[in-house]
């Protein structure tokens, strides 16, 4: 009896410890069968954003960026040039995103010889989409690129604009 109680206690402690030490990386738990989305083409990979369902899904938006980590100078702003295309998943009523790029980066051209370089996630302009806790967002990106996202939440307060006179 004492051995079984000890085993249960150790298992609970380990489970709690592992749960508290999980990183911010998403674990992919599909809500729909991912096989319905096409396989990534050669040179591309399939990225999936899944968020939990909540009663306030309608008050949220997701902003996602495609980019890659680069060593850049210390004072200029950088932007990855590329194109997002939203495509329909024929026969399912769902959509997914393709991102294409030649890898070209544009930047401001300030001179900053004394500024220390930095390691920066250089991304394309973001896409803002509706938050849907029941449906994943599928994005196909070239190998070597990554997807980052933010979740925006609206307050319940509604404001009225002032009329200009």
Query: What 3-state class would DSSP assign to 15?
Result: helix
| Residue carrying structure tokens 């070239």 | 142
At 41-91, the pLDDT tens digits run: 999 999 999 888 888 888 999 999 999 999 998 889 999 999 999 999 988
Q: Are 151 and 131 in contact (CB under 8 A)?
A: yes
Q: Indicate if the pLDDT at residue 156 is higher than 60.
A: yes
Q: What confidence score (pLDDT) does residue 135 get? A: 85
135 in a structural domain: yes
Domain for residue 91, yes or no? yes
Is residue 126 domain-resident? yes
Does 60 map to a domain? yes
CB contact set of 128 (below 8 Å; sequence gap of 6+): 61, 62, 63, 152
Q: Provide CB contacts within 8 A for 44, sequence distance 6+.
A: 140, 141, 142, 143
Answer yes or no: is 12 within a domain.
no
Nearest to 28 by CA among 45, 44, 51: 51
In a domain, 159, yes or no: no
Taking residues 123-139, what's their average pLDDT? 92
- Burial track 120-154 (b if 16+ CB lie within 10 A, e otherwise): bebbbebbebebbeeebbbbbbbeebebebeeeee
90: CATH: 2.60.40.550
Q: Kind of pairing, strands 105-107 and 94-100?
A: unpaired
Structural domain boundaries, residue 58: 28-153
- pLDDT for 85: 97
Give a yes or no: residue 20 inside a domain: no
Domain count, the chain: 1
End-to-end CA distance of the chain: 81
Determine how β-strand 83-89 pairs with β-strand 118-123: unpaired
- Which residues are within 8 A (CB) of 120 and not within 5 positions of it... i.e. 6 or more apart? 69, 70, 71, 72, 78
Task: State the pLDDT at residue 126.
Answer: 96
Question: Is 131 contained in some domain?
Answer: yes
């Amino acid at each position: 009896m004492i051995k079984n109680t000890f085993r249960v206690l150790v298992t609970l402690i380990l489970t709690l410890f592992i749960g508290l030490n999980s990183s911010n990386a998403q674990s992919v738990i599909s809500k729909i069968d991912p096989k319905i989305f096409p396989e990534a083409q050669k040179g591309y990979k399939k990225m999936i954003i899944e968020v939990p369902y909540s009663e306030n899904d309608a008050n949220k938006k997701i902003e996602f960026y495609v980019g890659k980590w680069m060593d850049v100078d210390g004072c200029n702003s950088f932007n990855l040039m590329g194109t997002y295309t939203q495509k329909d998943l024929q026969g399912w009523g769902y959509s997914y995103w393709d991102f294409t790029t030649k890898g070209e980066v544009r930047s401001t051209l300030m001179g900053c010889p004394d500024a220390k370089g930095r390691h920066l996630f250089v991304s394309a302009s973001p896409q803002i989409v509706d938050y849907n806790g029941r449906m994943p967002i599928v994005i196909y990106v070239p190998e070597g690129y990554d997807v980052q996202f933010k979740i925006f939440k609206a307050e319940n307060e509604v404001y009225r604009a002032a009329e200009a006179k």
